[in-house]
Amino acid sequence: MCSFLHRDGIVVLGINRAHAKNAISKNLIKMLSKAVDALKSDKKVRTIIVRSEVPGVFCAGADLKERVKMHSSEVGPFVSKIRAVVNDIANLPVPTIAAIDGLALGGGLELALACDVRVAASCAKMGLVETKLAIIPGAGGTQRLPRAIGMSLAKELIFSARVLDGQEAKAIGLISHVLEQNKEGDAAYRKALDLAREFLPQGPVAMRVAKLAINQGMEVDLVTGLAIEEACYAQTIPTKDRLEGLLAFKEKRPPRYKGE
């Protein structure tokens, strides 16, 4: 249902709940939570790709068949658990990439919004459709979508429950790259791997503090943000990797970073 594959610092977090289009169930959230907890503290992890192992689907959102059986008193706490796991993904210390090769609706798009970079196939379908069900996005969608594409457009999409394809999502800045789908149905995943490999040679400490500086800085005024940048930069100064970078430049060779 949820697995991860480790390749030279690139971790692929794969979701596979084929019979339910990867819909978010209690069990899936439990497994995602466990996987994310394991990744948080793994110093060998350099970049994480979140993808689906089910063709044509990223994640269809909440498992409505399960939800309809829940007592109303259970719904709030369960949505809080989903929100907490999505927040944990957003707060992972290394770069994260969502590879959207198919349907990403409701909580599925919220999961993708928690990632640093989103790439999608042109045939993928994305939208926060919760208002159709007389509810609102509950796993960060009302907050992360306007931060990604601007308030007015985010309101329009949430109010209309509109579903976009990959080209439309790229045009409004919801995703960074759009690809024509291939025969294997994994064009977005392959692009995500290319990006991850592009991230890989950089200094691991620098990558972590760069993400921290950007994430924290986006929530404050510019003066405070610049102070955050200064504090984050200071963390790189005493590292062995910084000295290795300078030495590699001097010796005209690729640096060999160790994350120290």
For residue 99, the surrounding DSSP H or E stretch is: strand 96-100
* Contact (Cβ atoms closer than 8 angstroms) between residue 49 and residue 192: yes
Instruction: Give Cα 242 to chain centroid, integer Å.
Output: 28
DSSP, res 186:
-
Number of other CB atoms surrounding residue 43 within 10 Å: 11
Catalytic residues: 62, 107, 110, 130
State the residue for tokens 């979701």: 15
Phi, psi of 235 (to 5 degrees): -70, -20
Number of other CB atoms surrounding residue 148 within 10 Å: 16
Measuring CA to CA, which residue among 195, 183, 234, 197 is closest to residue 117? 195
Antiparallel, parallel or unpaired: β 2-7 and 164-165: unpaired
